[in-house]
Structure formats: structure tokens, C-alpha cells
Amino acid sequence: MAEDNLSADLIMEGLETRLTGQRVLYYPSVTSTNEVAKQEAGQGAAEGTVIIAGEQTRGRGRMKRTWLTPEGNIALSVVLYPDASALSSLIMLASLAVVHSIESVTGLETQIKWPNDVMINGKKVCGILVESDVRGGKVNYAVIGIGINVNLKPEDSPEIQTIATSLSGELGVEVSRFSIVRHLLVELERLYLTLSPGGSVYAEWRDRLITLGKEVKVTDGENIYEGLAESVDKEGSLLLRSADGSLKKIVTGDVTLRN
């Protein structure tokens, strides 16, 4: 469909942002948009530069997992130069931007599973990977990578069918990637700019988490923790209440909700 054209010119045309999406590089196919974005950042790319691909062949998610991005879905990365104080908020704002965009375009109800998996009806529809280069306490750059299952047919990928969904799969009709991308870039910038005057997206992100108040299992490498997901702190760490009453702070990990 014409409105689903992801060309750089069309994405940028009339886009009401100051930074995000004012420079867009589109590739029909790349190994990883994050890798291209990091190369661009290393060469001094303008803040808000967006790398977007029609297909991603070696996309990566959290915990070194593979993220499938066949044609018909969204794979994009954004180059940012945040203050160190804002670094921990990037995961929060990215997941919120995705949630807002999906809801605005499709009307589907979305939720966030700690730390940044966007879910619909208990299945994952979006993965986010934030990578940064920090030296001597200074952030040289940060890259937000976002993969959204838009027109993916989970049944065509048996390895993810039970845990993943797509926007078209939920709605029963194809969804415009172009509309999602345009909304997403506006939302990313709006939320990002709230951070610079000392603002925060923490409260909304916390309130969107389906993890809190649930019994969970957290896997962090070879370590497994179980307990009640009691809260999250302002840096985004999960506060887990164990059966013995102790409270553990978990910075990263993979969460499974227990029945």
C-alpha cells in the first residue's frame, strides 16, 4: 500500500519534530539497525538520526537473543546524546513511546512487562534494546533500537508462535508501518525532551508495568530469583520480595510471570 512506504523522504516530510527523524536513513535490508546507528554515532551523526530497515537479518534483543524482523515489520534505531542522568530513563521512554503509538494508531490495549517488553493479550509485540557508549562518566552516545511486529504472522515462525503476536494478528487486518513510525518518532522526541529540564517518565512507566504485584521468576544469567515483584526504583531496577521477607534489587533479567 502507498501509505506504507517507509522511504526516508516520506517519513521526514512534514514531521513535527526538532530532532528525532529530521535525518532518516532507510535500508531495504541490514544486519542490525543498532549496529548501523552506532557507526553513525561514532562518526558524529546529528542527534535524532534514525536508521530504519525494511528487513533486519541479524537483529538482537536483550539477553543476547535474536530478534526476527522479516519484511512487513518495523526495525529502527535512534541516535541520541543524552546526559548521564537521563540514561536509565531511555528504556522507560522508549517503551512508553511504543505503547502510545500503537494505541493511537490501532486502538489496541498494550502493557509493559519489566523492563521494556511491550505486550498485547499476554504476548510480546515489541522488543527494545538500548545500547550506549559511556567513558569516564560521560555518555558519548546512546542508541535506542525498537522492533515492532506489525504485519508478522506468528504461525509462520513456530519458534515464537506461543510467545509473540503482531498488530495485524490482533486486528485481523494489515496495519500501516508508516503511521506507526511517524507517531513513534514524535512520541520519542516528546518524551525525550521532557527529561532535559529535569522531568521524568518514571511514574507513567511504573504504572504501566503488568509485572508489579505479581509472583515472578527472574533469570539473570545463571541466577534465578523468585518472589513478589513489589516495585521498581527510579533507575528502573526491579525490587523483588523473596519468601524469606528480604528485598532484592535486580538491575537486569528476564521475567516470567508465575500463575
| Cβ-Cβ contacts under 8 Å for 243 (sequence gap 6 or more) | 226, 227
Q: What is the pLDDT of residue 133?
A: 96
**Which cell numbers hold the place of 177?**
508501518
Q: What is the pLDDT of residue 63?
A: 43
3-state secondary structure of 48: coil
Domain limit, last residue, from 184, 206, 228: 206
Letter string b/e over residues 201-210, b meaning 16 or more CB atoms within 10 A of that residue's CB: bbeebbebbb
Q: With contact defined as beta carbons under 8 Å apart, do 255 and 211 qualify?
A: yes
Same-domain status, 104 and 170: yes
Same-domain status, 88 and 179: yes
Same-domain status, 85 and 171: yes
- Parent domain of 244: 211-257
CA distance 72 to 55: 8
Q: Which amino acid is at 153?
A: K
Same-domain status, 236 and 199: no
Same-domain status, 202 and 215: no
Q: With contact defined as beta carbons under 8 Å apart, do 149 and 165 qualify?
A: yes
Q: What is the pLDDT of residue 196?
A: 83
Q: What is the pLDDT of residue 137?
A: 85
* CATH, residue 161: 3.30.930.10
Q: Per-10-residue mean pLDDT for the chain, 259 residues long?
A: 74 96 95 95 97 80 56 93 94 98 97 94 94 93 96 76 90 95 98 90 96 94 93 96 95 85
Strands 50-53 and 24-27: parallel
* CATH, residue 235: 2.30.30.100
Same-domain status, 176 and 220: no
**Which cell numbers hold the place of 23?**
535525518
Q: What is the pLDDT of residue 57?
A: 82
Same-domain status, 95 and 177: yes
Work out how many domains the chain is built from and give that number: 2
Same-domain status, 11 and 79: yes
- Alpha-carbon distances of 45 from 42, 120, 130, rounded to whole Å: 7, 34, 17
* Residue with the three cell numbers 527529561: 195
What pTM was estimated for this model as a whole? Answer: 0.92
Same-domain status, 123 and 248: no
Same-domain status, 145 and 42: yes
Same-domain status, 150 and 251: no
Same-domain status, 90 and 177: yes
